[in-house]
Structure 1
Amino acid sequence: MATIVEQAPTLPSRPTTPPPHLTLNTSLRGTPAPIPNKHIPVCSPGPTPAVSLNTPPTSPPTKIPTSRSQLSLLYPVENFTKILETPVVYSIEPSTVADALEYQATQPLPDPKQVFPWLHGLHADNAIQLAFFVARRRALRRVPQSLRGITLVKAGGELSLARLKGAVAPEEILATDSLTGPIQQSRFIDPDPRDGFSVRNFQIQACKMATVSDIIVYGDETTHTDEVITLAQRFAWAQSNLQEQLHSIGWESGEFNTFAVQEPFRSFEVNHPDIVAIDSNGVVTGKVHDFFTSERLEMAQMTGASEIAPNVFLGPSPDPTFSPVDSAFDVFIEASDLAQIPDHKTLDELAAALDKPERPTVHFEVPGSGSILPPTWSHAEVDGLMNICRWIWDVTHDDTNREPMEHSDQTSAGAEETSIDKDGDTEMTSAPAVQAPDIARKVLIHCPDGYTESSLLGLTYFMYAHGLTVADAWVKLHREYKRNFFAYSTDAALLTSIQARILAESPVWTSRKSSGSKVSVPADPEWLAKHDGSLPSRVLPYMYLGNLAHANNAPLLRELGIGRIVSVGERVSWADRSTTPTKIEGGSHDGFEFVVVENVQDNGVDSLMGEFERCLDFIDQGKEDGIATLVHCRVGVSRSATICIALVMKEMGLTFPQAYCFVRARRLNVIIQPHLRFTYELLKWEEELRVRRGEPPRRELEWATVTREIAAMNRPYCRS
């Protein structure tokens, strides 16, 4: 479909991959839509840990003191006024709420060994989970006595307005019948999964933490005080009933209390704006870190439009949420899975329209990456792809440096069917010329995320405009043009099969031949045969995050300037053949320097925090030497992602939520998945880094909020 308009409109998203809503309402009624093309890979936990497994120490000695239980300004409760006697509900002022939240943020988290595996979820009926984590150690199922949190609950449950930092809806933690049934029978949801195995139960953490927290209930301007107090009473009964249940089986239980805020929400907005996430009008304040917005901002920064050839740019679809539509572009080409290749007539009309006195903006769609599949692609599809490249070349070059536009109607075939002379050089064929615009225009090739659907046309035109082979195009676009992109294996196979055709029609390649230079298509490099289209993700200029397949492709790593490898729990195959474990632990092989982290599986038991220093020092040394480091595990989303997040936190001074979103955005289509224990250790790492900088421990967000937000971000991609 082609459109000619006087001014560039706001571009609609494709229905198959809509961009996410910018909202902080992560309750079930307001889950943001998924970011296009992302997916959650499956991570194997490895073998079941032995019963006698001694988990590696979670961290080196730290200056942060640990106590049996976290301290809180809400306990003991002698200074609070009772609203109700049975069960007891206390009144709390907005100022005290703000002080209590700030104090809690400065309390060190308990040692991971004190709260895991309980946080994983250990339901009495879940034989698989219990066998993996607990075996005969029944005591591990007990509720940790070291935890004491604060759970904010908004009466009414509408979190799209008047939301305090970390607030949840009642239905997230109270059983359904407890919301309307007899108040004395109120109870918490039992969040632990009854079956299955997972070390990524992020969705249960807010509810689990509510059972070891003091509860604060508040409402917005439309909520009557009686409703707030009644809901607080239900929570007080739920706490009492849970305590009685634990005592009946001989388990200890902490003493937790319920508080009700009777002042209007306006008091928080006026006097304590730093803990207001969304105001009474539903406006995001920006005072509280929002994972969804942060990821979108990081993606926008990473994928901003950049020039890949004269007057041709790759970038994301214009999003007025972050910036106005760029009026500097004359042509917008959207890559879409649903699009058809424009025909000759359409391209001719668009070219003619660009020369009109009013200088309209033109829009049209092209097939996205992965939509032209070898070996079943048709000649017409490749002809159309080449016509688009020629059309872009002509509209982006003025008459002084442009040849007449030609349509490609020749037989589309692989390299072996393209005309090649006796020296192995490709020969140019021509078709009837068509009138082209007489002024160079600026073209934006775009897609919703800025790096997936647009990659096929982007790479094809990059090869065409620069006269590059497939291998050279992949490396040059990434290294020299600093462009992050994701291409499918089918894209790599297609472009490899039509490489000679692209070069034969490339104006640059043709000019080399006409100048008398010896020009031939070089043989494909060794790494291309093992290449699946994707590159390891560039998190920082000197640090890449990838999977085992990336690590096993040593020639590709050399092309990318990677000379150092951190292998987390997995070894590269090409080094194992001639390097013993003792040599590879901190040595080199075949021009690569290695660090290998042994005996760390993705099982929710093994610790990584004790390995942070060694790995980060190794990466820093590479930075000083001007050599990039690849950090990998098997899939490249959990163990290796944890190391990368730890380095970003240290080097950039970011909090865990900030660093998580930074790395997540740069892993492109693959969603990073550090499991619960690694996530917890990264929050402990945040504490450690603050101490090293001479700052008091202070978390930006609490454990329950962090895990809840990660669960909400992942929900659209989870298999139901």
Structure 2
Amino acid sequence: MTTVVVQQHHTLRHATPPPPTSIPSTLTVNRRPSPIPNKHLPVCPTGPAPADTSQPSPPTSPTDQPVSLLSPPDRFTRLSQSTCPTVYAIDAHTLSAALDQLSSQPLPDPSQMFPWLHGLHQDNHLQLGFFASRKRSLRRSPKCWRGITVVKLRGDLSKARIKGAISPGEVLAPAPASRFLMADPREGFSVRNFHIQTAKLAAMSDIVVYGEDTASKAELLALAEEFATAQHAYRLQHDPAQERPSYNTFVISTSFSEIEKHYPSLIAVNSKGVFTGQVMDFFQWERLEMCSMSRASEISTNVWLGPTPDHMLRTGACEHPIEESYDLLIEASDLASIPGPRFLAMTDKQLEKGPQRMEFPSSGSLVLPSGHTREIEDFVNTVRWIYYLTHPDEPVEESIPSEDDDIAMVNLRKKARRVFIHCADGYTESSLLAIAYFMFAEGVPAHEAWLRLHCEKKRNFFTYPTDVAFLCHVQERLLQESPECHRVDVTDMWDPNWFLKIDGSLPSRILPYLYLGNLAHANNPELLWKLGIRRVLSIGEPVTWSDEERAKWGPENLMYIDNVQDNGIDPLSLEFDRCLDFIGHGKKDDATLVHCRVGVSRSASICITEVMASQGLSFPRAYCFVRARRLNVIIQPHLRFVYELLQWEELQMKKQGRPVKRELEWPTIAREIALLNKPYSRG
């Protein structure tokens, strides 16, 4: 028997276990385990370093020295008996005030922090050669930084977590070293070393140690003395002339239960391990944004598409309205097989007893053999079966109580079933079945299904090249079987040129008037026109259009931002206002595509800026907003772009007359981004 080959793709991790199901397999499949989630980190080609790298960085002055409520420490009680290391006591009120004061301090100019933040290990000649060349001054730690690093004793951050808290092992070398970790990578090249920021900047921060109520004073003091010793050693090695601020170590004297009671704004996770919502959490916020973006909606009569209910989210965030109860829930899974006729018949009978669950192969998992096979029959048969569940045409006898309490038998049409097609994110694994069903139920070819689901039904979805090939292959059969396809000659059907060019994915709709995409999307102007996009903003990568296309769109609707490479050196913030003006001119009537080469760094940064400006979101929330809507591709603005975006947020606050107050600090933001990306990294 010919088999459908199931191609390996990275499966998206479910926040909750998939519903139990036992679908008997009617075919043999070749499967390999998927080691990492479905989303992927695309490779962003690094542009060349600027030709002129000999310009010295701006000199720092004594006014660059940051101020802190924790310095000088003379007013605090000394806890350590010895002169060195010295540890001080601090209460929760002072910590809260110090963190508030830190969030209002302007970030140093990027030229003072980069390229040092990229990581310039003395043995990493590749990284040094690109960023620093022979200029040793660029390798020195900056004088303008003073942070606050909160460290939790024992390092269990799943509960009793203060805002921004980290574990000791993230920044401190194992005992008995009492030294800060060397975070800079010894080899390789990267402009996205988010994972090293916490350790790099902890050495240039005041350290605040705390523990749960069960922690002893001796344990807290011992850990604090390790940090104080590490601070002293770092200063001797990196600042023997004492040109930079001196940093101190503190122990919180207030119990965690008291902090939790009187300073709730400091608590990210309470003593019971529950997220409080008082502190923005990247993972939780991304899930909320993803759920909001892909919220269940009806794509055809009695058929809904959306995310698997996620009970990890806050109550009500992803729940369906009470009136939306489904008779059949179909989860798209890369571990599923195409159900056969016997299973469908059995499920049909069980629907009389109550709601049922089943699985179906995920998007990107089916590669068709040549010719018509049993598997194609089962695929089409399943789609047809769903249609007749939702469009019953056979009357059945059903008993209902009459007004005098007698039982009357009446002829009724068979009940129309409500079907929910779902997957973890609501758009990836389920797209193959959703599009195939839409083609059948609406009687439209594949390319029209793509457009109508996106434009008319407002669904964001992601498909693979194999899905395009699969659906084009079964298109004629689906339409021949469709009861809605009466006037179309399916034997004379052709796919338009724009559809032949796509790899399955459409540009990502970030806002109704704002799309984010790659160079391939930008070089498919017919597709953009079909989507209602009438303006194109190219960041560092020009489009290759014909003169006729350029004339059709008009030069005023095309903008090219030159000389911005994704190299960790070229600034982007100088172009923010210009780009937002261009987007703003078309937002009332038309949509704008913003693109670079891959659509994850330069163009993503511009989209984040627009979301911050138009939606009034902080940078962390705007980052998650765009990240969730970039669908299966993870946005990757590099370190300098993220730093510039955080600094641009400060500038907008000042322009609006609001006091500067960052929601999260740079080391925390970098750490959260690194943790979000870690499951998708192969390293």
The TM-score normalised by the length of structure 2 is 0.88
- Give 2:297's aligned residue: 306
The one-letter code matched in structure 1 to 2:71 is Y
Q: Deviations over 1:193-248 (max 9, x none)?
A: 01110000000101111111111111111110111111111111111111111245
What are the within-5 Å matches in structure 2 for residues 15-34 of structure 1?
A: 17-20=12-15
| SS of aligned partner of 1:573 | coil
Q: Does 1:289 align with 2:283?
A: no
1:552 is displaced (CA, Å) by 0.6
Taking the aligned partners of 1:89 and 1:467, their CA distance within structure 2 comes to 74
- Give 2:408's aligned residue: none
- Give 2:563's aligned residue: 599
CA distance 1:662–1:67, shift in 2 (3 Å): farther
Taking the aligned partners of 2:395 and 2:449, their CA distance within structure 1 comes to 23
- Compare 234-243 and 519-528 and name the one that shifted more: 519-528
| SS of aligned partner of 2:506 | coil
- Give 2:244's aligned residue: 253
Q: Does 1:264 align with 2:260?
A: no
Counterpart contact for 1:372–1:381, Cα < 8 Å: no
Q: Does 1:615 align with 2:610?
A: no
Alignment match of 1:529 (pick from 500, 503, 514): 500
Q: Does 1:475 align with 2:451?
A: yes
- Give 2:39's aligned residue: 38
1:263 is displaced (CA, Å) by 2.5
CA distance 1:243–1:474, shift in 2 (3 Å): same
- Give 1:645's aligned residue: 608
1:352 is displaced (CA, Å) by 2.6
1:437 is displaced (CA, Å) by 8.5
Counterpart contact for 2:163–2:279, Cα < 8 Å: yes
The one-letter code matched in structure 2 to 1:171 is G
1:36 is displaced (CA, Å) by 4.3
The one-letter code matched in structure 1 to 2:362 is G
Q: Please, what is the CA RMSD of the aligned residues?
A: 2.7
The one-letter code matched in structure 1 to 2:619 is F
Counterpart contact for 1:56–1:606, Cα < 8 Å: no
- Give 1:189's aligned residue: 181
Alignment match of 1:381 (pick from 375, 380, 388): 375
Counterpart contact for 1:455–1:486, Cα < 8 Å: yes
What are the within-5 Å matches in structure 2 for residues 427-438 of structure 1?
A: 438=414
The one-letter code matched in structure 2 to 1:71 is V
CA distance 1:117–1:238, shift in 2 (3 Å): same
The one-letter code matched in structure 2 to 1:351 is D
1:47 is displaced (CA, Å) by 1.7
| SS of aligned partner of 1:629 | strand
Counterpart contact for 1:152–1:168, Cα < 8 Å: yes
The one-letter code matched in structure 2 to 1:37 is N
Counterpart contact for 2:159–2:269, Cα < 8 Å: yes
1:169 is displaced (CA, Å) by 0.6
Alignment match of 1:344 (pick from 332, 341, 344): 341
- Give 1:151's aligned residue: 149
Taking the aligned partners of 2:370 and 2:333, their CA distance within structure 1 comes to 19
Q: Deviations over 1:308-367 (max 9, x none)?
A: 11001111122233455776100011111121111112212222333x3xx411211111
CA distance 1:344–1:437, shift in 2 (3 Å): farther
Report sequence identity in percent. 52
Q: Does 1:464 align with 2:440?
A: yes
CA distance 1:377–1:622, shift in 2 (3 Å): farther
Counterpart contact for 1:114–1:146, Cα < 8 Å: yes
- Runs of 4+ off more than 6 Å: 53-57
1:476 is displaced (CA, Å) by 0.7
The one-letter code matched in structure 2 to 1:223 is A
The TM-score normalised by the length of structure 1 is 0.84
Runs of 5+ in structure 1 lacking a partner?
Answer: 1-13, 23-32, 58-64, 403-435
| SS of aligned partner of 1:528 | helix
- Give 1:362's aligned residue: 356
Aligned residue pairs total 634
Q: Does 1:80 align with 2:76?
A: yes
- Give 2:164's aligned residue: 166
Q: Does 1:452 align with 2:428?
A: yes
The one-letter code matched in structure 2 to 1:218 is Y
CA distance 1:277–1:203, shift in 2 (3 Å): same
- Give 1:134's aligned residue: 132
Alignment match of 1:96 (pick from 69, 74, 94): 94
| SS of aligned partner of 2:357 | strand
- Give 1:659's aligned residue: 622
What are the within-5 Å matches in structure 2 for residues 567-578 of structure 1?
A: 567-574=538-545
| SS of aligned partner of 1:475 | helix
Taking the aligned partners of 1:66 and 1:299, their CA distance within structure 2 comes to 46
| SS of aligned partner of 1:399 | coil
Q: Deviations over 1:573-631 (max 9, x none)?
A: 125x789xxxx9xx98568811111111101000110101111111111112x110000
Taking the aligned partners of 1:501 and 1:21, their CA distance within structure 2 comes to 36
Q: Deviations over 1:513-533 (max 9, x none)?
A: 7xxxx8875432110111110
| SS of aligned partner of 2:74 | coil
| SS of aligned partner of 2:367 | coil
Taking the aligned partners of 1:312 and 1:493, their CA distance within structure 2 comes to 24
- Give 2:31's aligned residue: none
Q: Does 1:716 align with 2:674?
A: no
- Give 1:276's aligned residue: 267
The one-letter code matched in structure 2 to 1:210 is A
Taking the aligned partners of 1:268 and 1:540, their CA distance within structure 2 comes to 40
| SS of aligned partner of 1:159 | coil
Counterpart contact for 1:690–1:697, Cα < 8 Å: yes
| SS of aligned partner of 1:564 | strand
CA distance 1:92–1:226, shift in 2 (3 Å): same
Taking the aligned partners of 2:434 and 2:268, their CA distance within structure 1 comes to 40
